[in-house]
Amino acid sequence: MIEWDRAELIEYLLERHDSAELAVRETPDPGAAHGALHNAVAAIWGLRSSVEPGASLPHDCKARMDDGIPVLYLDVQDPDWPRLAGQVVALTVRGLEAAGVTGRLEPLETYWRTFPPEDFEDEADIMGGEDVAAELDARGLPPSFPDDFPVPPRCTLAAAQRAPEGEGTWEHVAWCCAAARPLEEHLERLRDFGCELEPAPRWSNAEFGGLHGYHFRHPLGSGSAWLYHQRREDDPHQERDAPSAWYLSVVWQDAGTGTPDDLPEPVL
């Protein structure tokens, strides 16, 4: 049986409609999954465009193998895409299940948009515009973060920074998410990872988009985590005090290089 999260896949397709990549992971037979994706591709090509009578919905759609991982690539340029995305998900899952494929269908990349290290989001820069991290690993984390450090699902990498030379060894990463729940749940993932969290009370009532934070200790190091949100002030239809984007900011430093008291505090 194929595992999949309908809401996650639809949200991803809406975000990356012009370059979506769905991967079948943890399948014992990648060849069979690749063949099933070919069948799904044929069905998706059968969907009709809402603006060009007789034309297919996708601008491009194909199945391929990416380092042994079966992948469905999709490019859709259609104003009715929010309504049709669910049909694409259903056809893809149906094709996999019809072939008896097992595994999990999910976005190929951890993050749903390309993150240029030199151009992060201003809203995620609560550490005061420090140097941007020179490199990110396959998880989208700065290199000092330990193996298996939890990364929040269904969130977009928004910033990665390191301490200026001579001001410590900490590194900072921030994610953006359309809802608070995945980020709030991440605090539990930090605890499961082995972090001991302590509230940072001096920021508990800060008027910066609901900013609240925690310091944490771990056998491999220490750090801090901050959860906050931003509002679209230019949107006259948005309800008062309704957040438009949530951010999770995490700072990490290896054991022996400092304590949580040595870490930078958010710059408000």
Residue 118: pLDDT band by 50, 70, 90 thresholds?
Answer: very low
Within 8 A by CB and 6+ apart from 170, the residues are: 162, 163, 223, 251, 252, 253, 257, 258, 262, 263, 264
Whether 228 has a pLDDT exceeding 70, the answer reads: yes
Q: Is 53 exposed, middle or buried (0-12, 13-18, 19+ CB in 10 A)?
A: exposed
Could you tell me the residue ranges of all domains in the chain? 2-107, 122-262
Which pLDDT belongs to residue 163? 80
Compute the distance between CA of residue 24 and CA of residue 169 in angstroms, rounded to an integer.
38
Q: Which helix (H) or strand (E) holds 189?
A: helix 181-193
Per-residue pLDDT at 42: 96
Fold entry, domain 2-107? Alpha-Beta Plaits (3.30.70)
Calculate mean pLDDT across residues 200-204. 57
Query: What does the pLDDT look like over 120-149, one tens digit per residue?
Result: 556 566 666 555 655 677 777 888 899 889
Residue 209 has pLDDT above 90, yes or no: no
Q: How much is the pLDDT for 57?
A: 94
